[in-house]
Amino acid sequence: ADGTLEVLCSDHAPHCDYEKEVEFDYAPFGITGLENELAVSLMQLHHSGRMKLIDVLHRYTVAPARILRLEKGTLAVGRDADVTLLDPDRAWSFRRADTRSKSTNNPFYDWPLRGLPVMTVVGGRVVHADSSLRREEPVSV
């Protein structure tokens, strides 16, 4: 909240299980994190009262785009329609069986989490929609 952390991200290091099932000093660095990173960040930073929701989201969107000099991270005319619709209070838990990564090296399995991306739009095209977003009629994006 004091500006020490400018950007939030994950290196998402999905090493195969056999690579991680060795002594600590011999295992490659990193864990998987892409699938639950946002929820863990929301739990630890926002829901704990340490940071406002807008400040957490800024560190995932606007700040990295600015640092990398990309015309992304905001909604504006002429910009790519890359959007994630988030339910910041949605309760869920990440189960080992749900992982889509090649690795299952994740310390957050079965944690009670809050905050779930429910739709992802990339280049104006819906690439993920949670089943909870049932709609009566087609929606053009």
- Residue 103 located in a structural domain: yes
- Residue 5 located in a structural domain: no
- Residue 136 located in a structural domain: no
Placement of tokens 């993920």 in the chain: 128
The CATH number of whichever domain residue 23 belongs to comes to 2.30.40
Report CA dihedral (12, 1, 117, 138) to the nearest 10 degrees: -130
- Residue 7 located in a structural domain: no
Summarize pLDDT for 100-131 with one digit per residue, the tens: 888 888 999 999 999 999 999 998 899 999 88
Contact 35, 115 (CB under 8 A): no
- Residue 60 located in a structural domain: yes
Residue 114: name the closest of 84, 90, 86 by CA: 90
- Residue 53 located in a structural domain: yes
Q: Which amino acid is at 124?
A: G
- Residue 141 located in a structural domain: no
Residues belonging to the active site: 11
Domain interval for residue 115: 17-129
Summarize pLDDT for 19-39 with one digit per residue, the tens: 999 999 999 998 888 899 999
Least confident of 41-50, 77-86, 129-138: 129-138
- Tally of domains within the chain: 1
